Amino acid sequence: MVTSHSRLATGLLLTLAAMTAGIMSPAARAADLKTSWKFDFSGKAADGATAVKPGDLYSAANGFGFEPGAAVKVANGAIAADKPFFFSAAVPEGNYRVKVTLGGADASDTTIKAELRRLMVEHVHTDAGKPQTVSFIVNVRTPAIVGGGQVKLKAPRESVNEAWAWDERITLEFSNSHPVVSAISIEKVDVPTVYILGDSTSCDQSGEPFCSWGQMFTNFFKDDIAIANHGESGESVGSANGAGRFKKILAQIKPGDYFITQFGHNDMKGTPVATYQAGLESWIDQIKAKGGIPIIVTPMNRHTFQGNVVTNSLQGFPDAARAAAKAKGAALIDLNAMSKTLYEALGPDGSEAFFEHPAGPNPKYDGTHHSPYGAYELAKCIVQGVKDDKLDLAKHIVDDFKDFDPAKPDKEADFHVPPTPRVAKETPLGN
């Protein structure tokens, strides 16, 4: 049996090999892909849309379809399911406005994630006969760097387990108690982009129980801005340069775009503080030179308590991030301070819920990597930081976002984002 993981990985590796060998350039490959799609799930092809049937699995020839394992059926003019399913459409790199019509003749309860578990629509309930259309922006990226070169992907972590973060397609995950989808449209758009570059605490984690604030951040922004998360597990400022991750962002960023970076957890294991700070300052200068808006985020605390007080395990790195932002006039979001307040609000025992807990009779956590609930709360800290700094980015925050006080976190019992049916095959790099 060919799994979605292996198919995706094989396709990605073959594409990379062809590009590297000079057989096919990124531009030539992109020219073969559509930049807009309309799908109809009623069994018809309404308004020129492509009709999709339950048995239509994704293929390169068609350029769209369900990922293997989708247990869907047509019910009263829509696709319905009682467990999560994935649907993909091939597109070249870029930003896409995705519109999904939820519900129809039947009632529905749906949550939508994109690519590697990026939360797009937290939960929508529709009553029978009252469908609702939701809209959001999905960023699609490939390893190719504008002007030449490629991001050096970690194999097999990125080339296999995280292939959905790098392939030429949009993959949508539909979940909750009864997801119902009647139509999807996808259109390439030119909107401002927020580029995120960080480590395992902010990157797209491939599976449960690990999650990052970057994967929840997308939920809090309107469909007029894109979030492009270029972070990766185990990275530092130096290794992000060496792998071409910053180079890729710099080649794409345009005036009015944002660059949010959060490092420190891995840097502290071998990089001098002064070198770390100089690296951040260099990035700030380069982003500003391209007309981008840099935002420095201090690294969040680990779960390191002494009594009821969180102790600093990050040495001088949070201060160095603060100093870099001040020296170069960049915006600063002090997640280090906010996370200390957040963790202490629930105490050493209660705050364990913010961190990953693998299943089993004796669940453990490493005190660095977060659960979906913890990632959600940290994302709200970042969004609140955008508001507190009065950044222009704040105008893109969803209208129903309520001011968040880290001293008063949401209750875990009130967190209802369903888990993705993808379990991580390996733990995040770094700690």
Token pair listed for 387: 């508001």
Residues 336-357: tens digit of each pLDDT = 999 999 999 999 999 999 999 8
Asked if 186 contacts 98 with a C-beta cutoff of 8 angstroms, the reply is yes
pLDDT at residue 28 greater than cutoff 90: no
pLDDT score, position 171: 98
Q: How confident is the model at residue 361 (pLDDT cuts 50, 70, 90)?
A: low
Token pair listed for 421: 């049916």
Asked if 215 contacts 375 with a C-beta cutoff of 8 angstroms, the reply is yes
Question: Exposed (0-12), middle (13-18) or buried (19+): which is 411, by Cβ within 10 Å?
Answer: exposed
pLDDT score, position 10: 44
Question: Per-domain residue ranges for the chain?
Answer: 1-190, 191-431
Task: Tell which phi-psi region holds residue 164, choosing left (phi > 0), alpha (psi between -120 and 50) or beta.
Answer: alpha
CATH of span 191-431:
3.40.50.1110
pLDDT at residue 12 greater than cutoff 50: no
Residues 177-223: tens digit of each pLDDT = 999 999 999 999 999 999 999 999 999 999 999 999 999 999 999 99
pLDDT score, position 48: 84
Residues 91-117: tens digit of each pLDDT = 999 999 999 999 989 899 999 999 999
Cα dist from 131 to 38, 41, 111, 123, whole Å: 17, 13, 15, 14
Residues 215-263: tens digit of each pLDDT = 999 999 999 999 999 999 999 999 999 999 999 999 999 999 999 999 9
Asked if 292 contacts 349 with a C-beta cutoff of 8 angstroms, the reply is no
The greatest distance separating any two alpha carbons of the chain, rounded to the nearest whole angstrom, comes to 64
Higher pLDDT, 32 or 142: 142
CB burial readout 264-278, b (16+ within 10 A) else e: bbbbbeebebeebbe
Count of Cβ atoms closer than 10 Å to residue 309 Cβ: 11
Mean of the per-residue pLDDT values of the chain: 92
Q: What percent of the chain has pLDDT over 90?
A: 84
How far is 48 from 114, CA to CA, in rounded Å? 25
Asked if 195 contacts 230 with a C-beta cutoff of 8 angstroms, the reply is yes
Specify the CATH number for 1-190; select among 3.30.1360.200, 2.40.100.10, 3.40.50.80, 2.60.120.430: 2.60.120.430
